[in-house]
Structure 1
Amino acid sequence: MLLAKLFLLPAAVASSVTVYMHSVPSTSSPQTAVIPSPIPLVQISYDADQTTGTVVSYTPPQGSYASDHLLRIGLHDTKAGTWKGILTSAASFAEEYKKKFVVHVDEKGEPYHVGFSTSVKGAGEGDELEVEVVRREVGPKPVLNKPVVLNADGRIDSKEPEKTFIQKYWWMIAIFLVVQLVAGGGKE
């Protein structure tokens, strides 16, 4: 009986995701794409309960592309033919940059989006690749079915804030100043 309960305990299950890369054809030079089909860029192993993951394999983009060439990085669903990810320039994969992949997972631990960012490598930094796992959080919910209280006139009862002396009598002060200017201008 005790052994059966041990098997039913929730255990952290490591999952993995493959992030793909695909070249986007340039509008200025409409040649065929440098990378004709999506290719695996990085294989990431992660635990949805942890905030970090590990890189299993990484193949940096290779080929003849300009630094302003655009690359699509993300999850590729071959059945639906959809992408879930970001667009970045090929310059992001230069050697002087540290790369960071962000895997967004839902409540079940399944990836639904991939992010990518770079930063300049500091002196003595060893890891070129970093993986962060972000779990989806429940957003705020509106308060519904709160009764609306009306006054005897059928309007929402709200008191106006008390006005200051200047807010109440600004027009009298303006008339006084104008009279003083007109009366004072005639004496000279």
Structure 2
Amino acid sequence: MLLSKLFLLPAAVASSVTVYMHSVPSTSSPPTAVVPSPIPLVQISYDVEQTSGTVVSYTPPQGSYAPDHLMRIGLHDIQEGIWKGILTSAASFADEYTKKFVVHLDEKGEPYHVGFSTSDRGAGEELNIEVVRKAAGPKPVLNKPVVLNADGRIDSKEPEKTFLQK
């Protein structure tokens, strides 16, 4: 009996997501991209029920980038050719910064967006992972009953007017 109840307990489902990096072509001459196609930047393992994840693998951008060179960071849907993420400069990957990846999950626990930010490094880790679930927004209160007085009218007293309003 106890053993059958243990099998019915909800198990934590571990998932993983790969965040890609793609270089944005420069507008200067010659307009060529340093990275010609999206490459895996970080692979993140996360539990749908937790607010943090772990880094499975991380490959920082390699090559000589100008600090103002732009890079796309996010999810890449190969079938549809859609990017879901942000745009940042190559200076964000300098060693003096702590990188923070934020994985946004939908109602099913699937990632739909990736955020990225940096802060001064200090004594902390090089990479931080945060997992954010989509929350339901506020809902309006509808169908409040209308209270009528004995005459069948809405019982409302007019607010008392000030001297200037009179």
* Length-normalised TM-score, structure 1: 0.77
What root-mean-square deviation, in Å, do the aligned CA atoms of Structure 1 and Structure 2 show? 2.4
**Residue 85 (structure 2) aligns with:** 85
Change (3 A) 1:46 1:159: same
3-state SS, counterpart of residue 166 of structure 1: coil
Unmatched 5+ residue regions in structure 2? 149-153
Q: 2:83 and 2:157 mapped to 1: Cα distance?
A: 53
Displacement, 1:48? 1.2
**Residue 95 (structure 2) aligns with:** 95
1:41 corresponds to 2:31: no
Displacement, 1:110? 1.1
1:14 corresponds to 2:37: no
Aligned with 1:132 (options 130, 133, 149): 130
**Residue 177 (structure 1) aligns with:** none
Bigger drift between 71-80 and 25-34 goes to 25-34
Q: 1:11 and 1:31 mapped to 2: Cα distance?
A: 50
Displacement, 1:162? 2.8
Bigger drift between 91-100 and 140-149 goes to 140-149
1:62 corresponds to 2:37: no
Displacement, 1:159? 5.7
Displacement, 1:25? 1.1
Unmatched 5+ residue regions in structure 1? 151-155, 169-188
Q: 1:20 and 1:49 mapped to 2: Cα distance?
A: 24
The structure whose residues are more often helix, as a share, is 1
- The one-letter code sitting in structure 1 at the alignment partner of 2:72 is R
3-state SS, counterpart of residue 3 of structure 1: helix
Q: 1:146 and 1:28 mapped to 2: Cα distance?
A: 62
Change (3 A) 1:165 1:113: same
- Deviation sequence 1:46-67 (CA, Å, 0-9, x none): 1111111111110011112211
**Residue 25 (structure 2) aligns with:** 25
- Deviation sequence 1:59-115 (CA, Å, 0-9, x none): 011112211111000011101111111111111101111100001112221111100
**Residue 165 (structure 1) aligns with:** 163
Q: 1:28 and 1:165 mapped to 2: Cα distance?
A: 69
Instruction: Tell me the number of residue pairs that the alignment of Structure 1 and Structure 2 aligns.
Output: 163
Q: 1:160 and 1:30 mapped to 2: Cα distance?
A: 73
Q: 1:84 and 1:149 mapped to 2: Cα distance?
A: 50
Identity of aligned residues (%): 84
Q: 1:68 and 1:119 mapped to 2: Cα distance?
A: 17
Change (3 A) 1:77 1:164: same
* Length-normalised TM-score, structure 2: 0.86
Larger Rg: 1
